[in-house]
Structure 1
Amino acid sequence: MISDNMRGAGLMMAAMAAFTLNDTALKALAGEVPLFQLLFIRGVLATGALALMAYGMKALKFTMSRRDLLWVSLRAVGEASAAYFYLTALFNMPIANATAILQALPLTVTLGAALFMGMPFGWRRGLTIVVGFLGVLLIVRPGTEGFNIYSVYALLSVLCVTLRDLATRMISSAVPSMTVTVTSAGGVMAFFGVLQASAEWSPMEFRDFAILLTATTCIVAGYAFSVMVMRVGDISFVAPFRYTGLIWALILGWLVFGDWPQPLTLLGSAIIVGSGIYMLYREATLGRKLYKRNLARGGR
């Protein structure tokens, strides 16, 4: 019998594999099909598939409070902006480098929650974030020949995803997760549809469509696994498995594109992953302590 924790870990690893395969497929089309066109077509297909999935789960609910509508809209803005910055960076740098920079997300979300949401912020969290950001600097290495505008784009994508995740935290539980996912996918589709409307449409060969369909299938699967993983297992056990996405990026970057990171990039990646895992462990530990404290107070 497979435990809920192991099932959750498997779903998390499957989600990371799917997202990385999506990135790999899109990167394979870099220079052949314009980015706006790629993301608009993928957005149409992905939004349709996710909407059908949500409808089948009876999880579509577009009537929501103004407050939820604001945060859902802001989440969609973060999602669309992140897609632009991240994929522009991905098309111009090794996939492992871009993926490693994105692994700083738990650190930036913790910092953002402390700055804008009043979450507790002690010296341990602060030191962990500083160490993690040092790992990011080892990857982008500002001031060296390898540092360029696309390194900045990768960093901006982290900020946009942070905005997305902080907005997600502000959405009430009355809004189903699949509704939020469909809305964000639709926002990305609309955003890149507007940008593509003023650009020239590039003809696509059968190979291009096949690769794009693969990317769409992977992104939909990644979203589906991400929703499923929230329903099984202890999040403190499951969350660290998100870093398996970096392993997939290393393998696929080497097999598909012949890229292998420099030693400093690998060191920076290890520092980011270590900092992120410690942050997740710390959050889980404090969460359990708070739960026990509240439980004890309720029993008096």
Structure 2
Amino acid sequence: MSVGLFAGMNTCIKLAEGHGAALGEILFWRQFGAAVLVGGIVLAGPGWRSVATTRMPAHLLRAALGLTAMAFTFMTILALPLAEATTIGFTMPIFATILGALVLGEPTGWHRWLAVLVGFAGVVIVAQPGGGGFPIWGSVTGLIAAFLTAGVSILLRQIGKTEAAMTTVFWFSTLSVVPLGLIYIFVAKAHPAETWSFLIGVGLLGGAAQLAMTSALGLGPVSVVVPMDYSSLIWATLFGWLVFDTLPGPATWIGAPIIVGSGLYIVWREHVRRQTETTQAVMA
């Protein structure tokens, strides 16, 4: 559900921009809609005390990093066809592996380092540098977005040790509204009803997708949930064809399986590593 909702959100992003909305407006409505949705669920359910926190600096850092990653992600969606933008985003586990080794000192064997190299080879195939298939700067913003999103995932590992998932989602959404609201004052403009429907769709679909992903991670192990994200390429291809009359080029059909394969292998090796550590701890 999360993957399908995020794909719908990405479609609304392109439609909103195509109907005159600026990037700053799209970002504001994405977070404002999510804040209203999450806030309503908290108010109707466990109440405000359930999202109380003593780690506000960590949430502020997560909001700053997450907003920057989101901005680059949206720029990529606007610059590239949906399938290509989605495929570039699949490099996130590759960057997470690199950051996990460098920042957290996580053990990373040659299996995963080889998967990292293979994944980047797939990116080169999809991006076609110098080939003129699509704007190269769209590939660059996509890689920056994936790198920053990987940084968010590393930060969330630390925050998740003491904070509930709903608390993290709540503070990310609400804290983001403040700086985006200031930006919105300068970029807001009148739109026809159709454009407003796309902007509202970005917020509601994004918020619902975020909640669905949070629920999924709460119901199943990461090694099972995360690979489901790769099915977003199916949705992106479908929406790209039905809404924008575009299909992935030959390079994407070749490079996407390479990137997806490397990402899945990284997830599998991480699962094996954690199983080994658990077994050793039990035996000890």
Q: Confirm or deny: 8 A CA contact 2:32 2:203 kept in the other structure.
A: no
Q: Which residue of 254, 257, 268 corresponds with 1:281?
A: 268
Q: Which residue of 1 aligns with 2:161?
A: 173
Counterpart of 1:183 in structure 2 is 171
2:190 pairs with one of 194, 203, 214:
203
Q: Deviations over 1:245-267 (max 9, x none)?
A: 11111111111111111111121
Residue number among 115, 119, 142 corresponding to 1:132 in the alignment = 119
- Report if the CA contact (8 A) 2:37-2:208 is conserved: no
* Residue 93 of structure 1, CA deviation: 1.2
State the AA in 1 paired with 2:247: W
User: 2:79·2:135 contact (CA, 8 Å) conserved in 1?
Assistant: no
Moved more, 139-148 or 97-106: 139-148
- Which of 133, 143, 150 lines up with 1:155 in the alignment? 143
Question: Matched residues in 1 for 2:178 and 2:109: separation?
Answer: 41
Matched residue type, 1:185 = S
Deviations 1:40-92 (A, max 9, x none): 1332222121122234244733331xxx3333222111211112111112112
**TM-score of the two chains, using structure 2 as the length reference:** 0.93
How far 1:172 sits from its partner (Å)? 4.5
Indicate the SS of the match to 2:17: coil
**Residue type at the aligned position of 2:59:** V
Other-structure match for 2:26: 38
* 1:60 aligns to 2:47 (yes or no): no
- Name the CA distance, whole Å, in 2 between partners of 1:283 and 1:211: 38
Opposite residue 278 of structure 2, the aligned amino acid is: Y
Secondary structure at the counterpart of residue 149 of structure 1:
helix
Percent identity, aligned pairs only?
Answer: 27
Give unmatched runs, 5+ long, in structure 2. none
Going from structure 1 to structure 2, the CA distance change for 1:179 and 1:247 (only over 3 Å counts) comes to: same
Using the alignment, how far apart are the partners of 2:46 and 2:260 within structure 1?
34
Q: Secondary structure at the match of 1:202?
A: coil
TM-score norm. by structure 1 comes to 0.88
Pairs within 5 Å for 1:1-300: 14-31=1-18, 32-55=20-43, 56-58=45-47, 60-64=50-54, 68-145=55-132, 146-199=134-187, 201-297=188-284
Q: 1:261, 1:208 → 2: CA distance?
A: 26
- Distance of aligned partners of 1:43 and 1:236 in 2 relative to their CA distance in 1, 3 Å threshold: closer
Task: Pick the structure with more helix per residue.
Answer: 2
CA distance in 2, matches of 1:220, 1:140: 30
RMSD: 1.7
1:153-200 deviations in whole A, cap 9, x for unaligned?
Answer: 11111122112111111115332211111211223322322222333x
Worse-superposed segment, 120-129 or 36-45: 36-45
CA contact (8 A) 2:29 2:202 kept: no
Q: Take 1:277 and 1:98, find their aligned partners in 2: how far apart are those partners?
A: 18
**Do 2:101 and 2:108's aligned partners in 1 also have CA atoms closer than 8 Å?**
yes
Amino acid corresponding to residue 54 of structure 1 in structure 2: V
Distance 1:276 1:172 in 2: 23
Paired position in structure 2 for 1:11: none
* Counterparts of 1:119 and 1:266, CA distance in 2: 33
Name the aligned partner's letter for residue 61 of structure 1: V
For residues 122-150 of structure 1, the C-alpha deviation after alignment (integer angstroms, 9 at most, x for no partner) is 11110001101111111222233234322
- What SS does structure 2 have at the residue aligned with 1:29? helix
The 2-side partners of 1:239 and 1:126 are apart by 19
